[in-house]
Chain A
Amino acid sequence: MAKLSGNTLIEVLTSLALLGIIFGIGITLVAKLGGIYAPVSQQWMEEQTYTFLQEPVMGEGIEEKEINGRILTRKIFRDDPTKDLVRVIVELSYQDRTMVKKQKWIFLEE
């Protein structure tokens, strides 16, 4: 195995570091542009789940939508049929795995 001189080693390391930065910026850009292959952060998934949780509730039932290949499911149901209180559960899943789950209790007319 050929030995690298000190200067060459530093140049190689510098080049690798620069490549790393370029790669990082590239990944960030892809993520920003979106799409099914875009890597998503935990923060992004939390925000999507929270936004769906806060959307107005019109009645009981199950709603589903897809964003960037992730499935968002919202279930609205009563635990006690005598009350107008409903439970809202939103789950974000990817390839059948639940990544984020958020829930709340609200009165149906609100």
Chain B
Amino acid sequence: MAYTLMVLLLVAGILGGYILINRSYILLFDQQGGQEAAWQNLQSGVHLFLSEGFQQGRNQAFQLFDDSTDSCFIQTENWGLFGLIHGQAQSGRHLHARSALVGAKVPNRLAYSLYIRDVGGPLVVSGNTMLKGKIFVPRAGIRAGYVGQKRFTQDQLFVGDRLTSGNNLPFTPQVSSVDVMRSFREILSRQRSQEEFLATDITIQQPWTDAAYQINAEGHLILHDVSLQGKCIITAEKITLTPQADLNGTLLFARNIVFQSGFKGDVQAFALDSLWVESDVHLDYPSVLLVSKYSSQAPSLLHIAAGAKIQGMVLYDNNLFGPIAPNRQDLCFVDRTSRLEGILYAAHQLDLRGEVIGSVTAGNIIHQSTARLYKNYLVDATIDFERLSSKYLAPHMFTNPHYRVLSWLNYPEIP
């Protein structure tokens, strides 16, 4: 009798355990499946939203499919030259919220390797210049030439299609972000100051859904041993970033910005007078370097030194403050062994000696040697649009582009 009862209890225990494990497994599956479905709905919602374009401040709540169980709510704002989306989606009783950075696909008409404005005379290539893909050159064509003792060393002048460029550049970047212009105007309205501020031992992790964490300095701000992650903005007269600074996603606004040798991170840097990228600086995708000319008197300079690697966009423009006549000292200089993946747009003088995996658009190409200035000369440059990743997205500066999610923002981590 006792033996039978023991067996019965054992059987009851096994059955009970079996039922409990099954039940908890089903609940776990339901929870995980529901979260996954809400995340899928958020991606669907963002795609549906972006198919209508992107506009700052356009907020929208909508049903995703034909039922009322799947819905999405989207809010938008600009983050530098990119769009920022905050989405929240529902699947049944499950919710998922996350932010995303939004970029624009490069339109087909701008999918070229090189466009040089026709200012008279042919494009002269020298050294080991290598042009691959579609190129737009002046009506006078393209030829090989000498720079000092240096001759053209390649077998072909270019590989790909050659088309004729016009007197104007094929596009003018539409920097629609009012925040960028507001920050520039604020800097211009300030009194100039040479005072130095050393920022050190600062760690900020700012959620993307909150207001931006702002650092303002009226003078020269040196960032050393500073970690800024997420939604942070720095504004100063001059900003210097030492290699000990760790910035991800940060916006920088100043008259002058210097990235010291060895700096690594991803930032959008907006300068009025000059932007210096020293050797071996690595700026990860999607970084932006922009120098905007605001006065015809002040020369503007964008300098990228040897060994620097930049993924994103380099923009040297003189149209943000309306059309401004260029200064003879204006220059966008990209040194040997530097490498840019993305778009390089220089409205005025460009001295390109590095490698561009992407496209180059230039008002004037020059080569400044120690002895003389060569106009319309391209020396030791490599340009190839076809090697640019098909997933590359530019800032939204084109007319009626196709928008896509550039990256889902993980900070702070979604539990």
26 A–B contacts from the bound complex (CB under 8 Å): A7-B4, A10-B4, A10-B8, A17-B8, A17-B11, A21-B11, A43-B26, A43-B29, A43-B33, A46-B33, A50-B36, A80-B51, A83-B51, A84-B402, A85-B47, A85-B48, A85-B51, A103-B44, A105-B48, A105-B64, A106-B43, A106-B44, A106-B47, A107-B51, A107-B404, A109-B390
Chain A neighbourhood of B390, CB < 8 A: 109
Q: Encode contact with B along A73-106: 1 for CB under 8 Å, 0 otherwise.
A: 0000000100111000000000000000011111
B390 nearest in chain A by CB position: A109
**Could you tell me which A residues sit within 8 Å of B by CB distance?**
7, 10-11, 13-14, 17-18, 20-21, 24, 43, 46, 50, 53, 80, 83-85, 102-107, 109
Q: Which of B5, B7, B47 lies in contact with A105, CB distance below 8 A?
A: B47
Number of interface residues of B (CB under 8 A): 28
Least distance between B44 CB and chain A CB atoms (Å)? 4
Given A21-B11, A103-B65, 11 other A-B contacts at CB below 8 A? A10-B1, A10-B4, A13-B8, A14-B4, A17-B8, A20-B15, A21-B14, A84-B51, A85-B47, A105-B45, A109-B390
Q: Contact at B15–A7, with CB atoms within 8 Å?
A: no
Q: Is B40 an interface residue (CB 8 A)?
A: yes
Chain B residues with Cβ below 8 Å from A50 are: 36
Of all chain A residues, which has the CB nearest B70?
A103
User: Across the two chains, which residue of chain B brings its CB closest to A13?
Assistant: B8
Task: List the interface of chain B (C-beta within 8 A of A).
Answer: 1, 4-5, 7-8, 11-12, 14-15, 18, 26, 29, 33, 36-37, 40-41, 43-45, 47-48, 51, 64-65, 390, 402, 404
Query: Could you tell me the distance in whole angstroms from the C-beta of B53 to the nearest C-beta in chain A?
Result: 11
Q: Which residues of B contact A85 (CB under 8 A)?
A: 47-48, 51
Residues of A close to B8: CB separation below 8 A: 10, 13-14, 17
Q: Is the CB of A105 within 8 A of B26?
A: no
- Separation of A21 and B14 alpha carbons in the complex (Å): 9
Q: What are the residues of chain B within 8 A of A10 when measuring CB–CB?
A: 1, 4-5, 8
In the complex, A28 Cα to B258 Cα: how many Å?
66
Q: How many angstroms between the C-alpha atoms of A13 and B43 in the bound complex?
A: 54
A109 to B65, CA, bound (A): 21
* Complex Cα spacing A106 to B41, Å: 11
Q: Is the CB of B43 within 8 A of A104?
A: yes
The distance in angstroms between the C-alpha atoms of A84 and B404, with both chains bound, is: 11
A80 and B47 alpha carbons, distance in the complex (Å): 14
**In whole angstroms, how far apart are the Cα atoms of A9 and B210 in the complex?**
69
Contacts of B47 in A (CB 8 A): 85, 105-107
The distance from the CB of A76 to the nearest CB of chain B, in whole angstroms, is 14
* A21 vs B48: C-alpha distance when bound (angstroms): 50
Residues in A with CB closer than 8 Å to B40 are: 53, 102, 104
Task: Using CB atoms, name the residue of chain B closest to A109.
Answer: B390
Contacts of A106 in B (CB 8 A): 43-44, 47
Residues of A within 8 A of B41 (CB): 104
Partner of A7, one of B1, B12, B43, B44: B1
Cα–Cα distance between A26 and B44 once the two chains are bound (Å): 41
Complex CA gap A50/B36 in Å reads 10
